[in-house]
Chains A and B, each alone.
Chain A
């Protein structure tokens, strides 16, 4: 029987620096993996942290990591060419098939863009497979914007609204919360429109309120939850909500099926 708790070594192939505390680590990995799934990055002596897959390449997965805790601080001490032990992937991830032939709107806040970035990348490469694809990405300030290079690519193929909560005078980009841009989104057929929203719990709550105001059916809304996880395997119990284990049944949930979940 496989011992799931033992991490495997993965080469750090490349590091993409977005901000002082947010880097993308391009890791070697050749197994099957979906956007929205996660790995436990597992650093002996420091512990483990569940990190979403923010991109999938040939023989690589991207992990976009924010330096906020003990384990992630340690990851930032490791540099290009070194090895990070990790285990996974875990969780269900996003199913691209759900969004083909639809009007797709992705609304992400901060690092919440990571788990859904694989979906955005897919429709950026295959724009003809969706009726339309819109990305609304919100960041705290201009300094906090992630995936700057990716935005250039996305902006050429998709409708992109990149906004910051607040900016210094003279900032030429969009400002305001992501929710500000939902009422005016051009939607042709609400019943054929799917929304994916990922970000801090408060952002998700207000975003869903705005989406529902547009008359979008609940089953067309998808969210990804963030919870404490020690195992990723349905054992440690930390991520449980009602009868649901976020690590096994999520982290991606259909809103209609998951709106009753209470911590």
Chain B
């Protein structure tokens, strides 16, 4: 149901939500960018509507709300393991349409590829999604090409505009908060873009032969293997295990899983010295083919949601969009 809620009442509504939900949203971290005098937008816990960065796409995706960069799987002492408890509060995660489509990709890997993942599953059950609208396209995104520019799967749509909060609440669980908020019932439709600056055509005739395409070498030779493209991607889910020891007691520690990148050295190394993708071009091929071919072959829909973050973050200006378009062009 749609509502227009005056700002003061919206703040009270938000305060009530805060009591029962941990709220994750994109925040502006002024001066925290990789280069001097640059900002960064990434996710964090928020306590106020004004902390949310409503206008610009976040540099990093929402995924860390569900998959922590470092996640403790268990603590160990000499003979025992202890699993950390799941946070009690439910999660309210603010995200845009492309990212909401990415949730389906995370679910696919963590809930449907083999047995359900204990840690993801217990957090995912608690997660509710708040759609943020896009009224103009971001620079590198191509959601319209990937058909991810609209989403109906939200629990709540929110927009802060003028002196009002506009909401469309689809979730029964959240409905009471809005019923109490004394807003005006009205029709609210999420803002969405229908066209982007970047337009992408997915190649549709990829095959095993595509692995031999010289395109991988021509783009991959510029890659420095920093892995940023993986870390900003809302659909990259890989991790590596890491055991940490506490300095004050070497028999006590924790096993974590930490985000991993298929572009970074070590990703395919096995004990004894073998590794399987030594060249950067092979790693680039692996990533791109996963996003637009392998995942779809296994699960029936492309992995990439067209958020465009990988193109924006690449320090070598390697354009994933150009690679895809060139592959598609070669097919015609």
Assess A230 versus B74: contact at CB under 8 Å? Given A3-B83, A44-B255, A243-B295.
Answer: no
Specify which chain B residues have a CB less than 8 angstroms from the CB of A69 in the assembled complex.
271-272
Q: DSSP class of B's interface residues: helix, strand, loop or mixed? A: mixed
Is the interface on chain A under 10, 10 to 19, 20 to 34, or 35 or more residues?
Answer: 35 or more
Are B243 and A47 interface neighbours, CB within 8 A? Answer: yes
Are A49 and B271 interface neighbours, CB within 8 A? Answer: yes
Bound complex: CA of A54 vs CA of B237, how far in Å? 32
Are B113 and A248 interface neighbours, CB within 8 A? Answer: yes
Specify which chain A residues have a CB less than 8 angstroms from the CB of B298 in the assembled complex.
243-244
Q: DSSP class of A's interface residues: helix, strand, loop or mixed? A: loop
Are B117 and A233 interface neighbours, CB within 8 A? Answer: yes
Q: Does A1 count as interface, using CB distance less than 8 angstroms?
A: yes
Are A47 and B241 interface neighbours, CB within 8 A? Answer: yes
**Which A residue sits closest to B244, measured CB to CB?**
A45
Are A263 and B286 interface neighbours, CB within 8 A? Answer: yes
Are A46 and B243 interface neighbours, CB within 8 A? Answer: yes
Our count of residue pairs bridging A and B at CB distance below 8 angstroms stands at 123
Is the interface on chain B under 10, 10 to 19, 20 to 34, or 35 or more residues?
Answer: 35 or more
Assess A200 versus B274: contact at CB under 8 Å? Given A44-B255, A236-B257, A243-B294.
Answer: yes
**Per-residue contact bits, chain B 105-121, to A (CB 8 Å; 1 contact, 0 not):** 00001100111111101
Q: Does A5 count as interface, using CB distance less than 8 angstroms?
A: yes
**Which A residue sits closest to B299, measured CB to CB?**
A243
Chain A min CB distance to B299 (Å) = 9
Q: Does B262 count as interface, using CB distance less than 8 angstroms?
A: yes
Bound complex: CA of A233 vs CA of B208, how far in Å? 26
**Per-residue contact bits, chain B 257-268, to A (CB 8 Å; 1 contact, 0 not):** 100101000011
Q: Which of B83, B121, B255, B295 has the most CB of A within 10 A?
A: B255
Specify which chain B residues have a CB less than 8 angstroms from the CB of A4 in the assembled complex.
115, 117-118
Q: Does A142 count as interface, using CB distance less than 8 angstroms?
A: no
**Which A residue sits closest to B240, measured CB to CB?**
A230
Specify which chain B residues have a CB less than 8 angstroms from the CB of A236 in the assembled complex.
238-241, 257, 260
Q: Does B81 count as interface, using CB distance less than 8 angstroms?
A: yes
Q: Does A237 count as interface, using CB distance less than 8 angstroms?
A: yes
Specify which chain A residues have a CB less than 8 angstroms from the CB of B119 in the assembled complex.
3, 5
Q: Within the complex, which residue of B81, B114, B271, B295 is in contact with A44, where a contact is CB–CB below 8 Å?
A: B81
Bound complex: CA of A46 vs CA of B242, how far in Å? 8
Q: Within the complex, which residue of B83, B241, B289 is in contact with A6, where a contact is CB–CB below 8 Å?
A: B83
Chain A min CB distance to B267 (Å) = 6
Chain B min CB distance to A226 (Å) = 6
Q: Within the complex, which residue of B240, B277, B282, B297 is in contact with A243, where a contact is CB–CB below 8 Å?
A: B297
4 closest A-B pairs by CB? A69-B271, A234-B114, A237-B238, A44-B76
Residues of A within 8 A of B (CB): 1-7, 44-49, 66, 68-72, 200-201, 226-228, 230-231, 233-238, 240, 242-245, 247-248, 260, 262-263
